[in-house]
Amino acid sequence: MLWACVLLPQLALDGVLRRREDAHEPLVLVSGPAQARVVHAANPPARAAGLYRGQKLVAAQALLSQFAMVEYDREDEARWRRLLAAWAYRYSGEVGLFTHGVVLEVSRSLNLFGPWPHFESLLRADLRELGFRHRVALAPTPHAAYVLAGVHDGLAVEAPDALRHALAPIAIGQARLPAEVAQALPAMGIRSLGQLLQLPRAGLQRRFGGELLALLDRLTGDEPTPMESYRPPDTFEQRMEWTHEIEHVEALVFPLRRLTADLATYLAGRDGGVQRFELELEHCHGPPTRVAVGMLSAGRDATLLFDCARGRLERQVLAQPVLAMRLIARELPPFVPAGRDLFDSRPANAMPLDQLRERLRARLGEDAIQQLRRTLDPRPEFAQTSAPGVRPAQLPVLPRPTWLLDTPCPWRGPSPEILAGPERIETGWWDGGDLRRDYYVARTAQGQCAWMYCAPGEQGAWMLHGWFA
Amino acid sequence: MGQVLALDALIHARQVWHGRATPAPGGSQPTGWPQLDAVLPSGGWPEHALTEILLPADGIGELQLLLPTVARLSRAARQVMVIAPPYLPCVAGWEARDVVMSHVDIVQAGERDVLWAAEQCLRSGSCAAVLAWPHGADDRALRRLQVAADTGKALAFVFRDRRHAVQASPAALRLELEAGASLQVRVRKCRGGNPPISAVPLAAGWS
């Protein structure tokens, strides 16, 4: 077994930063009771000004006059961790959650994704894209990976024998031991994990109880680690909240890009797609505005999802400022990727046809794109439909025009010259729409060939129904 | 002047005008009308470019001119987009002319969105041909389509009224349909050659 640990040292801060466009503005997360607010985390511009974790908020305000403040939210942090677990699920079937990180079992994933250095670069590229700072380590046990990731970024220990070596120099304070143990051991002169592992087990058991021994066994791999595997939920829901009110739809585009990218990440991990999802815009008063986004077929490409949602959102008129936005996807149908021809003659950078259709539909309306097919009905008005269905076999060829008028209109010009006809269509008794017409092909004075009809047996009162264009 | 271009390549790209006619190479986008192919300098539709078709009236025979091309592309499973047509395409008629309708998308667009939709389709690179009926397109709008067609390597066809013939146009090929006793097509402008003097008759017919 090989475990990779992705440690997220700044998870709460990154979660807040990724929904803000301006990365250079100093920002801190604050926590604690109202009388004694402390800085929970500070972004690099704020740290450069001398702010640090654990500082009193009053002291921070004395150092820097202008900075953005966001309340630290434990629930929010847990949500980001779940999102990252969903992301990791795409690389491994066994994903576990630790307090500050995500571990995934990779020994089998390496067969699929290539050797560790390549796999590691894949993980890092994804995390950079998602906007989370991270440290990655590899070890034969999940606990060891978790501990090593905290000490050396990028450390990889593949052999179980080398693990004790790698763990030995780690200071007790960094070994993620229970708090009372971590305090007591240095007082006893035990400063590194190596020293701790060499102590007689019976003595340790007497002094600290069985818990510590079990933890050390799991750390070194002498005992297997019981792990509750992460299972992705069946619906996706993500919410973004701002400290200010947003009045224009344009300002929602950046957070929307993040939300749809998260949805795409989640779907990739689950190997699913989404056909319908909903954006909920929350206001100060009144019910939230709901924007439904529907697609022609299930998809999971981030650009496609963003394009669709953006088109729908941009047509939305905001009656009230928006405080928060929520993306909800309840139905996650299986995703079938479109097959592409190996000898495809289209340009390499071509946009997939589905994406083009969705983009057009987003702006022009849900029914803007049609594919017509024939039906078995002989009446010209019902002989074709845009509804999906089966295509009937080819019928015997009678002259049919290439343009058809939506509704026939009376012919106002001079009497046309008849080229062919009549073809009598007399049918439709079964649904009350019966008609009796004689159809002719006629040439107008302008030289157009028209498809016209009149009452049976007459050649006057022409109705124009199509053009042989 | 750092770049050295082979003369052959320039001549084959039809960027350089020749005083005398060169034998036309077999075009890779034949129009389906041999008489028309013979007079066009590229031996067919100009590739990755805009073709403007001027009409005296709707329904005069514009589809007769184009349906062989649409049929050829849709048979090869290439996508064709029909944007804001003046009437509904009659499926029986199109299929009788060999078009595979499952590769033809009809896009209903409002007056202001026709050019936008056409440009998106051309630029996407996933359509082989785009037929559009724009309202009030000026030469800047047409130039955008020309650039988009070049980017997406697609054939662009724009249908406009004959009264626009006096305006300058960035289209690589301008055809005017004339209906007299029989249907004929007159080449108004073609890139890479002199427009032929006489009009080309099309086999006018309704079947």
DSSP-derived secondary structure for A216-268: HHHHHTSSPPP-------SSEEEEEEEEEEE-SGGGGHHHHHHHHHHHHHHHH
Q: Is A390 exposed, middle or buried (0-12, 13-18, 19+ CB in 10 A)?
A: exposed
Per-residue confidence band for B128, with pLDDT thresholds at 50, 70 and 90: very high
pLDDT of residue A34: 81
Query: Amino acid letter at A379?
Result: R
pLDDT of residue A385: 86
Contact (CB, 8 A) for B70 and A469: no
- C-alpha separations of B114 from A72, A120, A310, B152 in Å: 49, 47, 20, 17
| Residue ranges covered by each domain of chain A | 3-25+67-220, 236-329, 380-467
* pLDDT > 60? residue B24: no
Q: Where are the alpha helices (DSSP H) in chain B?
A: 7-12, 34-39, 62-75, 91-96, 114-124, 139-152
Per-residue confidence band for A78, with pLDDT thresholds at 50, 70 and 90: confident
- Report the SS3 class of residue A422: strand
* Residues 6+ away with beta carbon under 8 Å from B19: none
CA dist., res. A271 & res. B136, Å (int): 47
CA dist., res. A321 & res. A305, Å (int): 24
Segment holding A321, helix H or strand E: none
Diameter of chain B measured on Cα atoms: 57
pLDDT of residue A187: 87
Q: Is B28 on the interface with A (CB under 8 A)?
A: no
CA dist., res. A313 & res. A158, Å (int): 49
Per-residue confidence band for A344, with pLDDT thresholds at 50, 70 and 90: low
Residue B60: which domain range?
50-201
Contact (CB<8Å) A400/B58: no
Of A278 and B42, more confident: A278
Per-residue confidence band for B22, with pLDDT thresholds at 50, 70 and 90: low
Query: Amino acid letter at B179?
Result: A
Which residue in this structure is represented by tokens 């953005």?
A68
DSSP labels, A347-370: -TTPPPHHHHHHHHHHHH-TTSEE
Q: Is B25 on the interface with A (CB under 8 A)?
A: no
pLDDT of residue B21: 55
Q: Is B59 on the interface with A (CB under 8 A)?
A: yes
In a domain, B33, yes or no: no
Per-residue confidence band for A89, with pLDDT thresholds at 50, 70 and 90: confident
* pLDDT > 90? residue A230: no
Closest CA to A129 of A308, A333, A252, A303: A303
Question: Considering only CB atoms, which chain A residues are within 8 Å of B104?
Answer: 371-372
Among partner residues B67, B127, B183, which is closest to A402 by beta-carbon distance?
B67
Among partner residues B90, B96, B102, which is closest to A403 by beta-carbon distance?
B90
Segment holding A146, helix H or strand E: helix A142-151
**Least CA distance to B129: which residue of chain A?**
A346
- C-alpha separations of A247 from A252, A316, B114 in Å: 9, 12, 30
Per-residue confidence band for B133, with pLDDT thresholds at 50, 70 and 90: very high
Helix and strand numbers, DSSP H then E, in chain A: 15, 19
Mean of pLDDT over chain A:
85
**Least CA distance to B121: which residue of chain A?**
A356
- C-alpha separations of A447 from A412, A416, A454, B64, B205 in Å: 15, 10, 20, 14, 11
pLDDT of residue A61: 86
Contact (CB<8Å) B92/A468: no
pLDDT of residue A377: 82
CA dist., res. A399 & res. B207, Å (int): 6
CA dist., res. A114 & res. B84, Å (int): 50
Of B114 and A377, more confident: B114
At how many degrees (to 10) do helices A353-364 and A302-314 cross?
10
**Pairing assessment for the beta strands B80-83 and B104-107 based on DSSP bridges:** parallel
Question: Considering only CB atoms, which chain A residues are within 8 Å of B86?
Answer: 403
Mean pLDDT to the nearest integer, A20-37 = 82
Mean pLDDT to the nearest integer, A112-117 = 88
Of A252 and A351, more confident: A252
Q: What is the pTM of this model?
A: 0.64
In a domain, B36, yes or no: no
Instruction: Give how far A91 is from chain B: nearest CA, Å.
Output: 31
Instruction: Give how far B47 is from chain A: nearest CA, Å.
Output: 14
How many domains is chain B built from?
Answer: 1
Contact (CB<8Å) A467/B179: no
E runs forming strands in A106-246: 135-139, 236-246
| β partners of residue A63 | none
CA dist., res. A142 & res. A95, Å (int): 10
Mean pLDDT to the nearest integer, A189-206 = 88
Which residue in this structure is represented by tokens 């959650």?
A97
pLDDT of residue A339: 63
- Report the SS3 class of residue A178: coil
The per-residue pLDDT for range A233-278, each reduced to its tens digit, is: 888 888 888 878 888 888 888 889 888 988 988 888 888 888 889 9
CA dist., res. A274 & res. A295, Å (int): 8
pLDDT of residue B26: 61
CATH topology of domain A236-329: Dna Ligase; domain 1 (3.30.1490)
In a domain, B34, yes or no: no
Q: Which of A49-58, A358-367, A391-400, B169-178 has the highest mean pLDDT?
A: B169-178
Instruction: Give how far A364 is from chain B: nearest CA, Å.
Output: 6
- Report the SS3 class of residue A315: coil
pLDDT > 70 fraction of chain B, expressed in percent and rounded? 92
| β partners of residue A71 | A30
Contact (CB<8Å) A356/B113: no
* pLDDT > 70? residue A341: no
Q: How many other CB atoms are found less than 10 A from the CB of residue A366?
A: 11
E runs forming strands in chain B: 50-55, 80-83, 88-89, 104-107, 129-132, 155-161, 173-179, 183-190, 200-201
Half-sphere exposure of A395 (CA within 13 A, CB side): 15
Per-residue confidence band for A358, with pLDDT thresholds at 50, 70 and 90: confident
CA dist., res. A273 & res. A297, Å (int): 9
| β partners of residue A425 | A437
Q: Model ipTM?
A: 0.84
Instruction: Give how far B74 is from chain A: nearest CA, Å.
Output: 13
Query: The tokens of A42 are what?
Result: 């500070």
CA dist., res. B104 & res. A207, Å (int): 79
pLDDT > 90 fraction of chain B, expressed in percent and rounded? 34
Per-residue confidence band for A443, with pLDDT thresholds at 50, 70 and 90: confident
Per-residue confidence band for A393, with pLDDT thresholds at 50, 70 and 90: low
In a domain, B154, yes or no: yes
- C-alpha separations of A183 from A177, A178, A408 in Å: 9, 9, 91
pLDDT of residue A342: 67
**Pairing assessment for the beta strands A463-467 and B50-55 based on DSSP bridges:** unpaired
- Report the SS3 class of residue A327: strand
Q: What is the CATH number of the domain that holds B136?
A: 3.40.50.300
Per-residue confidence band for A345, with pLDDT thresholds at 50, 70 and 90: low
Per-residue confidence band for A396, with pLDDT thresholds at 50, 70 and 90: low
Per-residue confidence band for B75, with pLDDT thresholds at 50, 70 and 90: very high
* pLDDT > 60? residue A446: yes
Which residue in this structure is represented by tokens 């390499």?
A348
Q: Which of A73-82, A132-141, A360-369 has the highest mean pLDDT?
A: A132-141
Mean pLDDT to the nearest integer, B128-132 = 94
CA dihedral (A329, A331, A335, A338) positive or negative: negative
